[in-house]
Structure 1
Amino acid sequence: MEEQFESQRNHLLAIAYRMLGSLSEAEDAVQETWLRLHRSDRSKIENLGGWLTTVTSRICLDMLRSRKARREEYMDEHMPENLAKDRYNPEQEALLADSVGLALLVVLDKLKPAERMAFVLHDIFAVPFSEIAPIVGKSELATRKLASRARQKVRGNAIDSQTDLNQQRKLVEAFLAAAYAGNFDSLVAMLDPDVVLRDDREAGVRAETKGAASLAKKVSGHAKAAQVALVNGRIGAIAAPGGRLLYVIQFTIKDEKITEVDLISNSARLEQLNLTILSD
């Protein structure tokens, strides 16, 4: 039995990680699945792989619902100062997050528990809706609707001005690349002379930096972890090393120049943002 379970462990861990977005919680869910298997009547289990997937999914769903019921500030649990308390290697979790996709993890965290369950199981692991329905406690039709809503949130609604969006994306990608490389002249060229940077990372106060030269000097050599995403339907960026959302950047662009940069790290403000993955 142990050998059969171990052969499924990586698959179960992959499911649990996408459900929970935390390696430590995923490991806990898989361990609880093992304990339930150990206590169960194995003679009644016809399909071990299906049974383990179902049990792990139900455990994850309970954990997600419990997390929501306690109104935990989930993202705050994973800020850098708490990483040292994790009994797992942060590098291991970062590698796993990279394999999943950092933006996907952030967006999945915005979904309701049942939506996240339906989307992950069906769209990522190809579990039939007929098997997902009993897990989320809904009809097959209702489960399909859950996955559809989640899919729309993950992929984003259709945007009318795709050309403008693509142009803005190129500008923001160039800005982030120049910031990371410390290319001062390129940064200044992309900024409006009267650009304003608002940053709330210092004691919750939204400190302002005005002027292209001042902003370029402040961000030069940074933005290593930032990547482009949609923020409330507009081109922005997120910094989520290891799948842990640290901050979001909103850009205001006029006449192909960046006029405002708003860096948001406050958890209450982050919860109000709609973040969407951008495909390559």
Structure 2
Amino acid sequence: MPELPEVETIVRDLRRLVVGERIASFVADWSGVTGAEPPELVAARVAGARIEGTRRRGKLAILDLDTGEALVISLRMTGKLLSRSADAAADPYVRGHFIFESGRELRFSDTRKFGRIVLVPQQAIRAESADGARAKGALHERLGIEPFSRAFTTSRFARLLTARQRSRLKPLLLDQTFVAGIGNIYANEALYRARIHPLRSAGSLRREQVRALHQAILAALRRAITLRGSSIDDYRDARGRRGRMQREFLVHGREDEPCARCGHAIRKAWVAGRGTYWCPHCQRAPARR
């Protein structure tokens, strides 16, 4: 499932590839791609609109239009946004595509049909306020602080952890209302970097561990963006290319392999329904009560 680094990579690609394009038409190749709104209504509202910018909120890709509306695209598990020429080979998993006046297309491919394209007012997806408070609106009420926002300081992170002190860290990091954009891969990688067991409670961390986890989250995400995301299964960037972060995983997907720091075998367990990887030596389990 694309997480913050993968979506950020796509958004940056699209900033170069589609900003300035004017939409001639939108074609829904599957009627469910626009969610509750009929695709023909979305098509009518975007026809003639110019794409003014691209941005990301959590794991969502956003295309701002000159009409005051924005296309919010959720890739979910298998979604891809691909910039293509009109004569590019057909993709059987394309669920909707935008045809630009230039002749190029932006195709939304999604094998499992979990992704959606939704048209909303831009005001509903304003950026966070300076103190990181959530803006009003349905989208913001579902999403927590952005890791790369100025508001995501160590002290702010400490307060967020204190507010959820009984929560186990791995499920908490996956909670999009806590911190937006972190998924299973980068939660595993960040906890390993910080030497913190995934089942530790948020309230059990010492001050230096809070600082270490804050820094580890940012380091894991930044490195993944530099390497253009992780292509384990479906993820591709906007040009259809694979990311390279999977070559540098420290712990994710490395069950029974030796820890790069201590040589102990990496372990795997299911936590909150997600595959969780850790080193039993570097990431000591919490004491049982």
Give TM-score, length-normalised by structure 2. 0.24
More helix by proportion, 1 or 2? 1
